């Protein structure tokens, strides 16, 4: 299989359910331990190079309810940079649309939970950030090869 072909088994409903359960469990453990458990991703490219995890809380664009997801992140000065990769799926993750429609978010890193304002990086800024994101987690490049969409980069600045 070449890097441009997403493995079909990743699109299984069983895998989707496992990811959803794992995400919820990670969020609970992260909150309970202030990031001591669930605060580092060690899967895929992160097996050898652990990657930091934050909790992003958005307001659901349809439900109006708060939604929290664990995500890999990159610090860029005071900003937190997120990638809407969804493992290279053809569609953006739900949190991306929540952020697009309501940019007021909160991000928890360890025990620190702060308010941010999120924005979608433009093409030039995305191009500047992408190599740093791939250096953080090399699988982002693999995910980009698996989809026809330009994977959005979201920059969150302190509110």
Digit-coded pLDDT (tens) for 132-157:
999 999 999 999 998 889 999 999 99
In a domain, 111, yes or no: yes
In a domain, 1, yes or no: no
In a domain, 42, yes or no: yes
Which CATH number is 50's domain given?
2.30.110.10
Long-range CB pairs of 131-140 (<8 Å, 24+ gap) are 132/74, 132/76, 132/81, 133/74, 133/81, 133/83, 136/51, 136/72, 136/74, 137/41, 137/44, 137/45, 137/46, 137/49, 137/51, 137/72, 138/45, 138/49, 139/44, 139/45, 139/46, 140/83, 140/85
Q: How far apart are CA 113 and CA 110, in angstroms?
A: 8
Q: Which residue has the tokens 């307001």?
A: 59
pTM of the model: 0.89
Q: What is the mean pLDDT of residues 58-81?
A: 96
The total of structural domains in the chain comes to 1
For the chain, what percent of residues have pLDDT higher than 90? 72
In a domain, 3, yes or no: no
Digit-coded pLDDT (tens) for 100-141:
999 999 999 999 999 999 999 999 999 999 999 999 999 999
Digit-coded pLDDT (tens) for 4-42:
676 666 666 776 677 788 889 999 999 999 999 999 988
* Residue 103 structural domain: 8-158
């Amino acid at each position: 299989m070449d890097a441009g072909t997403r493995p079909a088994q990743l699109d299984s409903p069983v895998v989707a359910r496992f990811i959803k359960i794992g995400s919820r469990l990670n969020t609970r453990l992260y909150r309970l331990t202030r990031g001591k458990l669930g605060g580092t991703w060690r899967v895929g490219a992160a097996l050898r190079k652990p990657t930091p995890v934050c909790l992003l809380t958005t307001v659901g664009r349809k439900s109006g309810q708060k939604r929290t997801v664990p995500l890999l992140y990159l610090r860029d000065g005071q900003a937190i940079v997120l990638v809407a990769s969804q493992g290279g799926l053809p569609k953006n993750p739900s949190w991306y649309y929540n952020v697009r429609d309501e940019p007021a978010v909160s991000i928890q890193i360890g025990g620190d939970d702060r308010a941010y304002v999120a924005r979608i990086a433009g093409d030039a800024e995305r191009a500047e950030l992408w190599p740093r994101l791939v250096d953080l987690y090399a699988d982002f490049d693999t995910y980009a090869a698996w989809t026809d969409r330009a994977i959005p980069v979201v920059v969150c600045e302190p509110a």
